[in-house]
Amino acid sequence: MGYYVTVEKGVNVYVEDVGSGKPVVLIHGWPVNHNMFEYQTSQLPKYGYRTISIDLRGFGKSDRPWQGYSYDRMADDIHEVLETLRLKNVRLIGFSMGGAIAIRYMARHAGKRVSQLILVDAAAPAFTQRPGFPYGFTKAEIDALLEQNDKDRPQLLTDFGNIFFAQSISDSFRNWFQLLGLEADSHATYETLKSLRDEDLRADLAKIHVPTAIFHGKLDKVAPYPLAIAMNEGIKGSLLVPFEHSGHGSFYDEREKFHKELLSFLDSLRYFVGEEEI
């Protein structure tokens, strides 16, 4: 079932809501949409999870306002969805930029309604290099991508797709995945890329106080593996699960392992909070 949630006056975000049971909320990455989780949303309901996928503003079927693409505002959008749906004991899963937004949500909203966090190839704690953090892209490299977005966005997405997966994928799958990016608003693609360039989540990590798993491909060329180590060091008690043969798309590069590790961690929540929903 799909529907819209109003997150601020004049802005509605699209939500895909499948299955019943314990709620899992998924936040996609740049520049795709909720459909990237097709191989998870088709499975999780079989194991008793209500699977809720959100299109961030500017992406997929959500509204495309001119403003509001900071991590703060997008984290507030997530907050509005969780509040509107009155969800409890949420398992929050964020991929890439969605992982960064999930971290900001946990810090900005004190993890309200969330009892478990899964960060998948997250573009955090910082996506670009800066003093004291020599990992990731340079800001000049992101500036070049911003320029390419305004000149030849399809080629930008093709180039991005070429470094995304570490394992062989079919041309059909590659084309499908690129189309997810082409569905995004060009301005939203540009503005969220600026947020990826400029945002710094290092101070947010210590504000996370729920069981957290970090799934990260060791061959990741988009959000390199040292980012996962930094998150693991910054989030007290977090579990780091390396995917030895995965690039940025561990959810597909090692799909069977991903499903196994995800279900194992989701199931472990009962040992922390008991069976009763909170």
Supply the residues annotated as catalytic.
Answer: 96, 220, 248
- How far apart are alpha carbons 214 and 220 in whole angstroms? 14
- How far apart are alpha carbons 139 and 22 in whole angstroms? 40
Do 79 and 50 meet the contact criterion of CB atoms below 8 Å apart?
no
Please tell me whether residue 136 adopts helix, strand or coil conformation.
Answer: coil
| Pairing verdict, β 212-217 and 90-95 | unpaired
Please name the residue ranges forming H helices in the chain. Answer: 38-41, 71-85, 97-108, 139-162, 171-182, 186-198, 225-234, 250-253, 255-268, 270-273
- How far apart are alpha carbons 46 and 165 in whole angstroms? 27
Residues paired with residue 5 on neighbouring β-strands, in sequence order: 13
Residue 197 structure tokens: 């360039």
- How far apart are alpha carbons 93 and 108 in whole angstroms? 17
Closest CA to 114 of 76, 79, 74, 73: 79
Please tell me whether residue 92 adopts helix, strand or coil conformation.
Answer: strand
